[in-house]
Amino acid sequence: MDLGDGTALLTDRYELTMLQAALRSGTADRRAVFEVFARSLPNGRRYGVVAGTGRLLDAIEAFRFEAAELDFLLSNGVVDETTAQWLEKYRFSGNVWGYAEGDCYFPGSPILVVEGTFGEAVLLETLVLSVLNHDSAIASAASRMVQAAQGRPLIEMGSRRTHEHAAVAAARAAHIAGFATTSNLEAGRRYGVPTAGTSAHAFTLLHDSERHAFEAQLASLGADTTLLVDTYDVERAVRTGVELAGPSLGGVRLDSGDLGALARSVREQLDALGATGTRIVVTGDLDEYGIAALAAAPVDGYGVGTALVTGSGAPTASLVYKLVARADRPGEDAPLRPVAKRSPGKPSRGGRKTAVRRFDGHGVARAETITTGEPDPGPHDRVLQVPLVRNGEIVGREPLAAARERHARSVAELPAAAVRLSRGEPAVPTEFVDGGARP
Amino acid sequence: MDLGDGTALLTDRYELTMLQAALRSGTADRRAVFEVFARSLPNGRRYGVVAGTGRLLDAIEAFRFEAAELDFLLSNGVVDETTAQWLEKYRFSGNVWGYAEGDCYFPGSPILVVEGTFGEAVLLETLVLSVLNHDSAIASAASRMVQAAQGRPLIEMGSRRTHEHAAVAAARAAHIAGFATTSNLEAGRRYGVPTAGTSAHAFTLLHDSERHAFEAQLASLGADTTLLVDTYDVERAVRTGVELAGPSLGGVRLDSGDLGALARSVREQLDALGATGTRIVVTGDLDEYGIAALAAAPVDGYGVGTALVTGSGAPTASLVYKLVARADRPGEDAPLRPVAKRSPGKPSRGGRKTAVRRFDGHGVARAETITTGEPDPGPHDRVLQVPLVRNGEIVGREPLAAARERHARSVAELPAAAVRLSRGEPAVPTEFVDGGARP
């Protein structure tokens, strides 16, 4: 299963049929602006988190039609020879601006702006949305879990509950949102996310007794390891673990039952055994609500699987990619004019937009101002779009740590209500200001 | 972004730490049997659909630790030298049986059985679950949509709402479950799924008028194409479309509004214009319930996006991979004995299992008999597990069409209640029969 380097066929057929028809009608070279935004936040959430930007920049760079792709397209009648020749030379040569990765967003926030010819920009639609919809959905859910954990570390361990490559991206997005570690080794290799993990129930069941299993794990991983203690009887397992490892046993993991009550009794037992530094990690179908419910329990860390990789009830961010402006004729100098469809229930605002987050004197975000004019930040405000691609050259690459730090700052700037788990309005209201069309 | 051929790091760290500890304790070479099953079906569904098997066989074959993987594992302290040497020689040499791809399953159905040494079989856990959980979730949702569509064709068009590689697998899974086509070109190239797609609102907005856009599309794609008619005014667009293409216009697509009412008025308009053969395709946040609600409307095809790729409320199949039997000592001749943990709320049944689907005299499935003994099929019954890997050699490959045909047959065998969309019990009850442990 060679996935190869190329990303050009990770797209919808209609992007190519539109290109072909536009090449024929002479409109493919019209300058065009597409914007990515969400019409709403899912499930009454207070904010969303932009994630996937770094992955997207790599994917845009790899968006090339090589012989294998062209052969498929031609032999299946997807495109004609003229279009294939155009595709062979395809390199995205336009500009992309976007909210910096890790920043928060709200309904209508123009989190990505793609400017180029219609032909070159329309081709990126599906890939842009796939990457941003997936990664932002995961990061948005992850951020709520991080807030619910109130400083306790979170382990991402959902790889087994999602597509094997989505799992790698999910681990990356969770790390941006504040998760400490991941179980996913490829995310460690590819993105440098710290990895974690020690053992499963199968390891205990493999051995002739739980004692044998613990001995084997301690011999291999040292006393600082975390023992899984709920295969048979938790109290007996904790006793055995401390007996074998001594009071410097690193941690114990609880994966089933009433996690709050168990954590309390295990904490008492550990303390009584002198293992006062031994951590208690809990796992087992946790989501942000389950984490919050354990706030008063003596828990030292949470492992989250299914809820993380499925976006905790919102597995996609529902971002759309809309043409908002285009020229009337080909050429760099042709002015852009706003366009928008009039489909009922799906209103779009025409015109290329900029965005500014407005802050009060205490550094608290109070409004998201979106305008078709130039951004107009006050002294406390932040212009939200940054350059990502300039004339086809990637300029927005940054270390993953930068996105992670940005996210922590961005959430900290939101009004206090933002971190409530209950359904509500977006934490920051979006204001649209008509600024006229920009050239 | 080179994803490369290898799949060995698409796994959880703890699989490798367990291997290392087991190598050290001398238990890694004990023969072991793991089983994949679901404890329940999500959201009161009546059946699940096995999908991903073909992809999994490719992924198992590519599960190799090359220099790049070993470097990462050693330099990050995930494994020690001894373990790295073991991994370097790793080839799965065991056996895998499973429900054939496309077959239906029920709670407890042992849809995959992996037998090998503990070390070689435990390493596959994460990858096996990632592939089967994702693809089965999509296929299970897709099958309900196919039933709801009552023979009308379905187009899979959800690529933009899920991870870019998950999208390819989703298109494949949907096709197995009966979807006719996909928008995803990579699924066309890699798996031969037929692709479809013509144009989006952006194409209409790009042109100086809807008429210009339709002319461009018809010139490029011919009169048999499908025109998107809801950018401005549906009635005017339909009139323009038939005027330009003639009564042999292939189709029109409605993507917004009250799809049932619109389909009726558009059908009347088309018929009045003599375009009696022009198809009406509807899209726009459809799921199985939305499709069922349009059963009486004059609709000729459905496009499904978000709901398909997110499993329509169940984005993962919640399949687990559990050690059910293992030997007491290394060696092929050591007898297997059943094992099971005793964690509260997560009961497992020890012992390697076989399964038979029991049919009545009318060919209707009446029971799923699962036993730790040999399968005992009656004359009308079907043994459900087939060989997939034998002594490390892949033996279960088949064309995608075989899985698609099998799924159609498998659903048709279920009791009539199986295709109800309402919440209910599994369509076929699962019976566990203690057959004693098999050697």
Would A278 be classed as within a structural domain? yes
DSSP A438: -
pLDDT value for A341: 84
Interchain proximity B118–A206, CB inside 8 Å = yes
Chain B positions touching A24 (Cβ under 8 A) are: 216, 219-220
Would B325 be classed as within a structural domain? yes
Is B220 found in the same domain as B303? yes
How is residue A49 written in tokens? Answer: 């988190």
Is A75 found in the same domain as A159? no
Q: A279 near A251, Cβ under 8 Å?
A: yes
Q: Nearest by CB to A1, from B21, B59, B326: name it.
A: B59
What phi-psi label fits residue B8: left (phi over 0), alpha (psi between -120 and 50 degrees) or beta? alpha
Digit-coded pLDDT (tens) for A334-361: 999 999 887 666 657 899 999 999 999 9
Nearest chain A alpha carbon to B36 = A160
- Count CB atoms within 10 A of the CB of residue B256: 20
Q: Nearest by CB to A164, from B10, B159, B345: name it.
A: B10
Integer CA distances (angstroms), A173 to A124, A288, B85, in order: 21, 16, 33
Q: Nearest by CB to A217, from B5, B21, B58: name it.
A: B21
Would A7 be classed as within a structural domain? no
Q: How far apart are CA A18 and CA B205, in angstroms?
A: 12
Chain A positions touching B229 (Cβ under 8 A) are: none
Is B209 found in the same domain as B300? yes
List beta partners, residue B432: B370
Would B1 be classed as within a structural domain? no
Three-class secondary structure of residue A314 per DSSP: coil
| Minimal CA separation from A154 to chain B, in Å | 16
Q: How far apart are CA B75 and CA B379, in angstroms?
A: 58
Task: Tell me how far the alpha carbon of residue B140 is from its chain's centroid.
Answer: 7
Chain B positions touching A192 (Cβ under 8 A) are: none
Report the C-alpha dihedral over residues B157, B161, B167, B172, rounded to 10 degrees: -40
| Minimal CA separation from A368 to chain B, in Å | 25
| Minimal CA separation from B255 to chain A, in Å | 8
| Minimal CA separation from A349 to chain B, in Å | 13
Q: B141 near B312, Cβ under 8 Å?
A: yes
Domain stop point among A281, A313, A345: A313
Q: Which domain holds residue B158?
A: 149-313
Would A8 be classed as within a structural domain? no
Is B70 found in the same domain as B186? no
pTM of the model: 0.97
Would A146 be classed as within a structural domain? no
**Which has the closest alpha carbon to A26: B228, B227, B208, B243?**
B208
Chain A positions touching B232 (Cβ under 8 A) are: 341-342
pLDDT value for A435: 77
Nearest chain A alpha carbon to B61 = A1
Chain A positions touching B203 (Cβ under 8 A) are: 18, 21-22, 122
| Minimal CA separation from A286 to chain B, in Å | 14
Determine which of A36, A129, A163, A195 to mutate to test the interface with B (most B C-beta atoms within 10 Å).
A163
Q: Nearest by CB to B27, from A58, A162, A207: name it.
A: A207
Interchain proximity B216–A127, CB inside 8 Å = no
Write down the H helix ranges in B150-178. 164-176
Interchain proximity A164–B9, CB inside 8 Å = no
Task: Please state the ipTM of this predicted complex.
Answer: 0.97
Is B153 found in the same domain as B134? no
| Minimal CA separation from A380 to chain B, in Å | 35
Q: Nearest by CB to A134, from B162, B169, B199: name it.
A: B162
Is B306 found in the same domain as B330? no
How is residue B337 written in tokens? Answer: 């004995």
Interchain proximity A206–B323, CB inside 8 Å = yes
Three-class secondary structure of residue A358 per DSSP: strand
Chain B positions touching A82 (Cβ under 8 A) are: none
Q: B285 near A40, Cβ under 8 Å?
A: no
Q: Nearest by CB to A126, from B127, B159, B212: name it.
A: B159
Chain B positions touching A137 (Cβ under 8 A) are: none
pLDDT value for A3: 42
* Matching residue, tokens 């301690």: A218
- Count CB atoms within 10 A of the CB of residue B3: 18
Q: What values do phi and psi take at A39, rounded to 5?
A: -70, -30
Amino acid at A119: G
Q: How far apart are CA A376 and CA A135, in angstroms?
A: 30
Domain stop point among A251, A286, A313: A313
pLDDT value for B435: 77
Interchain proximity A199–B169, CB inside 8 Å = no
A381: Cβ–Cβ under 8 A, 6 or more apart, which residues?
A356, A357, A358, A359
Chain A positions touching B322 (Cβ under 8 A) are: 201-202
CATH code, domain carrying B308: 3.20.20.70
Helix, strand, coil distribution of chain A in percent, nearest 5: 40, 20, 40
Is B124 found in the same domain as B268? no
| Minimal CA separation from B209 to chain A, in Å | 11
B276: Cβ–Cβ under 8 A, 6 or more apart, which residues?
B247, B270
Nearest chain A alpha carbon to B342 = A232
Q: How far apart are CA A345 and CA A347, in angstroms?
A: 6
Three-class secondary structure of residue A389 per DSSP: strand
Chain A positions touching B344 (Cβ under 8 A) are: 256-257
CB contacts < 8 A (A, B): 359
- Averaged over successive runs of 10 residues, the pLDDT of chain A (439 residues) comes to 70 98 97 98 98 98 96 97 98 98 98 98 98 98 98 98 98 98 98 97 97 98 98 97 98 97 98 98 97 98 98 98 97 93 71 97 97 94 98 98 98 97 96 74
Would A145 be classed as within a structural domain? no
Q: Nearest by CB to A157, from B12, B133, B183: name it.
A: B12
Chain A positions touching B162 (Cβ under 8 A) are: 130, 133-134, 163, 166, 315-316
Q: How far apart are CA B340 and CA B324, in angstroms?
A: 6
Chain A positions touching B315 (Cβ under 8 A) are: 162, 310-311, 315
**End-to-end CA, chain A:** 47
CATH code, domain carrying B378: 3.20.140.10
Is A298 found in the same domain as A167? yes
* Matching residue, tokens 């290329």: A352
Domain stop point among A290, A313, A336: A313
Is B376 found in the same domain as B347? yes
E-state strands within A68-210: 95-99, 104-105, 112-117, 154-156, 181-182
Is B172 found in the same domain as B64? no
Q: Nearest by CB to B76, from A126, A188, A345: name it.
A: A188
Nearest chain B alpha carbon to A80 = B220
Would B288 be classed as within a structural domain? yes
Is A354 found in the same domain as A309? no
How is residue B378 written in tokens? Answer: 């009656």
Q: How far apart are CA B185 and CA B174, in angstroms?
A: 14
DSSP B12: B
Task: Tell me how far the alpha carbon of residue A205 is from its chain's centroid.
Answer: 36
Nearest chain A alpha carbon to B231 = A341
* Cα three-residue angle A143-A147-A150, rounded to 5 degrees: 145
Chain B positions touching A344 (Cβ under 8 A) are: 256-257
Domain count, chain A: 2
Digit-coded pLDDT (tens) for A288-333: 999 999 999 999 999 999 999 999 999 999 999 999 999 999 999 9
Task: Tell me how far the alpha carbon of residue B41 is from its chain's centroid.
Answer: 14
Nearest chain A alpha carbon to B135 = A163
Is A303 found in the same domain as A168? yes
Nearest chain A alpha carbon to B212 = A25
pLDDT value for B349: 84
Q: A400 near A350, Cβ under 8 Å?
A: no
- Count CB atoms within 10 A of the CB of residue A150: 10
Q: Nearest by CB to A310, from B76, B164, B315: name it.
A: B315
pLDDT per residue, tens digit, chain B (439 aa), is 344 568 999 999 999 999 999 999 999 999 999 999 999 999 999 999 999 999 999 999 999 999 999 999 999 999 999 999 999 999 999 999 999 999 999 999 999 999 999 999 999 999 999 999 999 999 999 999 999 999 999 999 999 999 999 999 999 999 999 999 999 999 999 999 999 999 999 999 999 999 999 999 999 999 999 999 999 999 999 999 999 999 999 999 999 999 999 999 999 999 999 999 999 999 999 999 999 999 999 999 999 999 999 999 999 999 999 999 999 999 999 999 999 887 666 656 899 999 999 999 999 999 999 999 999 999 999 999 999 999 999 999 999 999 999 999 999 999 999 999 999 999 999 999 987 655 5
List beta partners, residue B228: B253
Q: B133 near B319, Cβ under 8 Å?
A: yes
Q: How far apart are CA B325 and CA A253, in angstroms?
A: 24
Write down the H helix ranges in A283-399. 288-293, 306-309
Q: How far apart are CA B322 and CA A385, in angstroms?
A: 48
**Does an H or E element contain B351, and which?**
none
Chain A positions touching B34 (Cβ under 8 A) are: 202
